[in-house]
Amino acid sequence: MKIACLGEVMLELVPTDGNNALLGVAGDTFNTAVYLRRALPAPHLVAYVTALGDDAGSARILTALRGHQLSTDFIEMREGGTPGLYMITTDDAGERSFDYWRSAAAARSLFQEPCTVTPDALNGFDIVLLTGISLAILPQTTRDLLVDWVDRFRAQGGRLAFDSNYRPRLWEDVETAQRETMRLWSRCDIALPSVDDEMLLFGDRDEAAVLARLTATGVVFGALKRGDAGPLALDGSGAVISAPPVSNIVDTTAAGDSFNAGFLSGVAEGMPLADAMDRGHRLAAQVIQHRGAIVDL
């Protein structure tokens, strides 16, 4: 299997004590790519697709990507560009919030001229992962270009994995976010929504309304992430995976990202849907017991 994860990778600040912080590298699709690479044995290939600058921060990110054994052959390098930066704050229950500095990030220029990496460069992959964040950071012209490519990619046998991963501050307005998200739900082969994100974005009154809307859109495979309630199969079976609740929740950063990695690794290895959901759920349960997006397990 060849799997590409597309989006934005940033520098991550995790405050420690006083005025100190740990500096890391993270981002939703990057987090998934890292855990996916760890979960899949060779010769599976996991590549990351983004745009970076030529500054010290971008060099740190490239070093991290290669250190995690991710292919960097599909990264656009922008002269004078810089990466985004964000800081994590967690409350006493481990729930996280973010402050971002990313408006001028090079990733926003992905697939824009002059470029050496185009969507067609991804035609040789089996699965391509996009998220709502991947879409939100791009201008509308690039979103349209990407959607057109998705149609060609799927017609050639490729599979699109999508997670709406809704972040209101990244979008121009909620109507645009709804429209663009629905365009991807109607095209995805592997759906990875979170019930909280879907209810927030679309105003669905409950889980049943989320499921009804996704089904009406044409979603027939994937998993609905529901936190400690366990994922629910999106193949019409209604199967649920449950596990003992995690008592030591430290930081929920990357919970959904790591679930996506575990699930996609199961799909890549031909697991039944329930087993892929179980793998994703168990991986996420480990990640949230540690601080930061990328942790040693």
Catalytic residues: 257
Type and span of the H or E element at 142? helix 140-155
The closest alpha carbon to 8, from 88, 95, 86, belongs to 86
Q: Residue 71, SS3?
A: strand
Give, in order, the Cα–Cα distances in Å from 289 to each of 15, 247, 257, 261. Answer: 17, 9, 14, 17
Burial of 231-258, coded b for 16+ CB within 10 Å and e otherwise, reads bbbbeeeebebeeeebeebebbbbbbbb
Token output for 93: 């229950």
φ, ψ (nearest 5 deg) of residue 113:
-70, 145
Rounded to an integer, what is the distance from CA 227 to the centroid of its chain?
16
Give, in order, the Cα–Cα distances in Å from 55 to each of 65, 73, 211. Answer: 16, 19, 44
- Residue 280 and residue 241: Cα distance in Å, rounded? 10
